[in-house]
């Protein structure tokens, strides 16, 4: 199948008007200008870009990964795929050990089948003071036996673990997580700058939703935010949904650390793509009003209702400078950097890579989505 479009973004460069050739679920050619043979699909003024990769998502379409059923996984995947996400990691919230073991074991099969990139344990080893929308009674310090049990239950599917590095045993847990081939992330933490530095030196390479649910920056107490930003080994997650962060912060962070060290994530929960109402995030009741999810009866944000196409639009809208450069940066942060942060191949649209792509209108609305060479939905 040979596609042409008014603009082709590979994830690392802009080719202008160009083409993408697909065969057996893989990209076999990509280039600018007019292809050597007639195209099969002329997408006219559309933009072709790599499919989005969400490394931190709890659910969507009225379902959540913590339910750990085939139907819940299918509903979450379907909702986010319609919005351009062709690969994602299933994030779980803090829970008690037996529940987490069951959830991880059930989701591992969906990783082995290729539906999911992996499993993200966001907790239970988090700081009570920065727990956000995590059940406080489920929080605890990492126990070596429990760390081993959860990694074993995943059969290699646990791709990332977020923990608070100041907890007793956390540094040892980071070393074990990294040794098992997973990514250790700093998050939901009240760590000092020095404690965060120790975690990074032990192998932590991601900061989970930077700024949110962590000790804030103070001029005499820089905390984990500054520790993560100043270390080139760390990729920082940002939720650019217009709720979690003021638009100035993503601009500042990208200008400070460069486009390659930022991964945009939704942190979406079951209400993504759904109407306002009552939902759950793990054992906690969540109320969604005006598209903003909060723990019931509180002002605490409980994940988001965003999809990756929303993050793209807002990232470009709120960027400073040239729009084309802002779009290329946002695509890199949505498609390339999450895979790199997860230690996975990040080819973008290049020969030999998967035919995972999105077709966007000039206004950046989703027109169609392709995953592994097949259209997820009918092309508009």
Q: What is the C-alpha separation between 209 and 366, in angstroms, rounded? A: 25
267 is catalytic: yes
What 8-state DSSP symbol labels residue 102?
Answer: H
C-beta separation of 49 from 349 below 8 A:
yes
Q: Which of 231, 224, 239, 237 is nearest to 257 (CA)?
A: 231
CA-to-CA separations, 244 to 4, 83, 264, 292, 341, in angstroms, rounded: 37, 20, 12, 10, 21
Q: Which of 241, 267, 309, 356 is catalytic?
A: 267
Residue with tokens 């803090």: 94
C-beta separation of 189 from 224 below 8 A:
yes
Q: Phi then psi for 226, rounded to 5 degrees?
A: -70, -40
Q: What is the C-alpha separation between 359 and 366, in angstroms, rounded? A: 6
Bridge partners for 57 per DSSP: 90
Q: Of all residues in the chain, what percent are helix, strand and coil, respectively (each to 5)? A: 30, 25, 40
Residues 6+ away with beta carbon under 8 Å from 113 = none
Q: Which ranges of 183-336 would DSSP assign to H, the alpha helix?
A: 193-202, 223-230, 248-257, 308-318, 323-331
Q: What is the C-alpha separation between 190 and 167, in angstroms, rounded? A: 9
Residue with tokens 């499919």: 51
Q: What is the C-alpha separation between 105 and 34, in angstroms, rounded? A: 49
Pairing state of beta strands 292-295 and 2-5?
unpaired
**Rg of the chain, C-alpha, whole Å:** 20
DSSP 63-88: EEGGG--HHHHHHHHHHHHHTTEEEE
Provide the annotated active-site residues. 267
């Amino acid at each position: 199948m040979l596609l042409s479009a008014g603009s082709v973004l590979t994830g690392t460069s802009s080719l202008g008007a160009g083409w993408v050739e697909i065969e057996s679920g893989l990209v076999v050619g990509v280039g600018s200008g007019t292809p050597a043979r007639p195209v099969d699909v002329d997408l006219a003024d559309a933009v072709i870009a790599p499919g989005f990769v969400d490394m931190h998502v709890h659910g969507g379409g009225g379902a959540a990964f913590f339910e750990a059923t085939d139907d819940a996984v299918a509903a979450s995947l379907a909702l986010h795929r319609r919005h351009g996400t062709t690969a994602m990691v299933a994030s779980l919230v803090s829970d008690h050990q037996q529940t987490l073991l069951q959830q991880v074991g059930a989701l591992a099969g969906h990783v082995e089948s290729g539906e999911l990139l992996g499993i993200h344990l966001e907790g239970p080893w988090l700081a009570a003071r920065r727990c956000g929308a995590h059940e406080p009674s489920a929080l605890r310090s990492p126990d070596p036996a429990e760390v081993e049990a959860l990694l074993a239950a995943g059969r290699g599917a646990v791709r990332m673990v977020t923990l608070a590095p100041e907890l007793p045993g956390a540094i040892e847990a980071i070393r074990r997580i990294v040794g098992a081939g997973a990514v250790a992330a700093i998050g939901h933490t009240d760590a000092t700058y020095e404690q965060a530095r120790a975690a990074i030196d032990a192998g932590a390479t991601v900061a989970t939703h930077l700024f949110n649910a962590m000790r804030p920056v103070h001029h005499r107490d820089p905390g984990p935010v500054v520790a993560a930003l100043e270390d080139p080994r760390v990729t920082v997650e940002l939720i650019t949904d217009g709720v979690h962060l003021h638009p100035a912060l993503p601009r500042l962070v990208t200008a400070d650390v460069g486009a390659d060290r930022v991964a945009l994530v939704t942190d979406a929960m079951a209400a993504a793509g759904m109407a306002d109402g009552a939902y759950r995030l793990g054992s906690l009741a969540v109320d969604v009003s005006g598209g903003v999810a909060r723990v019931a009866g509180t002002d605490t944000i409980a994940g988001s209702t965003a999809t990756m196409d929303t993050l793209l639009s807002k990232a470009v809208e709120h960027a400073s400078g040239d729009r084309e450069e802002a779009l290329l940066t946002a695509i890199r942060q949505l498609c390339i950097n999450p895979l790199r942060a997860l230690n996975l191949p990040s080819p973008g649209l290049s020969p030999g890579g998967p035919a995972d792509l999105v077709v966007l209108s000039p206004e950046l609305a989703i027109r169609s989505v392709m995953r592994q060479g097949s259209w997820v939905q009918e092309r508009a």
